Amino acid sequence: MAFTPTGIGAVNPTPQHADGRVNEEEYRRYIRWLVDKGVRFLQPSAATGQSLQTSREEYRRLLRISVEEVGDRAAVTAYAGRADPRETIAMVNEAAAAGAHAAYLIQPFFSTPDQEGLYLHYKMVAQATTLPLVFYNNAARAGVNLSIDVMDRLTDEFPNFVALKQSDVEQFPNSVRRLRHKIVVTPKSEHHMLFGFALGSPGVLTFAANIIPDRLAAIHRAWFDGDQARARDLYLECLPLFDIIHIEPVPNAIHHMLNRMGWAFGTPRVPAHPLSPEHARAVDAVLEKFGLVQSAAAE
């Protein structure tokens, strides 16, 4: 499957048994539900799935399970970016072997290279694979911004760069202006989805699709059917849930929400943790307004 980030994507979490092992049976059931509800691309073992607390074997296994379960109904993308280009290449190769359709590459974190260093990092990865690659510019996480100039240069040289997830909202319009004839440019999150759609993004990778996939799919459908007013109204209805996801660092609230909805996601791995009692009450109040408590898993 050629990869384009079209439709609604989910950065999906990982369910845990009480002893900390991945709950593979629940994971399979859950991602089937996501796709049934309109999710068109998945990203296991990323921010919501606690990539830095996930072993290489678990990363490999979650990708393989995802590919097995969704078949040709949705794309599976890998969160393969690491601080070292050699490690990134290894993670991309693991993704390709598992059958993933693309790899998202955050810039190398902690070392804060200059723009030439970033160019060399991405060049090494692009030369080592034919898997479709997606830039993931997230300066807040990586500590360094990936400039449009570098991406422009790389997309001229390597056709396997197919898209950009641009988390810098200020850079987003110029990213579209300069890169849109070569790659697809998508926005940071569900909060920015209508902004992205208005500037030509065909899809968006989200946290909230893990909780309300059908509602996000309805927003996307309304927008691209030409009913922007309905898309706006649906978006504004969903905004309280978009916001409450971030009451604590991801994935704390997402695990809590899914458990309250009837899924068996257990406790996230440290340094993530269960919500505080006060925050749990706030999240439960939003879930109740959306009619989600104990409803989704029974469908």
pLDDT in tens, 191-201: 999 999 999 99
**Is the Cα torsion angle 263, 264, 268, 269 positive or negative in sign?**
negative
By the 10 Å C-beta count (0-12 exposed, 13-18 middle, 19+ buried), 160 is classed as: middle
User: pLDDT by residue (tens digit) across 49-108?
Assistant: 999 999 999 999 999 999 999 999 999 999 999 999 999 999 999 999 999 999 999 999
The pLDDT, as a whole number, for residue 2 is 84
Q: What kind of fold does domain 7-230 have according to CATH?
A: TIM Barrel (3.20.20)
Is residue 1 pLDDT above 80, yes or no?
no
Hey, what are 101's tokens?
């359709």
Q: What is the pLDDT of residue 177?
A: 98
To which H or E segment does residue 78 belong? Answer: strand 75-79
**Domain chopping of the chain, boundaries:** 7-230
Distance of CA 272 to the CA centre of its chain: 18
- Taking the model in full, what pTM does it have? 0.95
pLDDT at 296 over 90: no
pLDDT digits (tens, 9 = 90+) for 110-131: 999 999 999 999 999 999 999 9
Q: Say how far residue 7 (Cα) sits from the centre of its chain.
A: 12
Joined together, the tokens standing for residue 215 give: 């509602």
Please state, in angstroms and rounded to a whole number, the distance separating the CA atoms of residues 216 and 232.
11
Angle, alpha carbons 173-177-182 (nearest 5°): 125
pLDDT over 70 percentage in the chain = 98
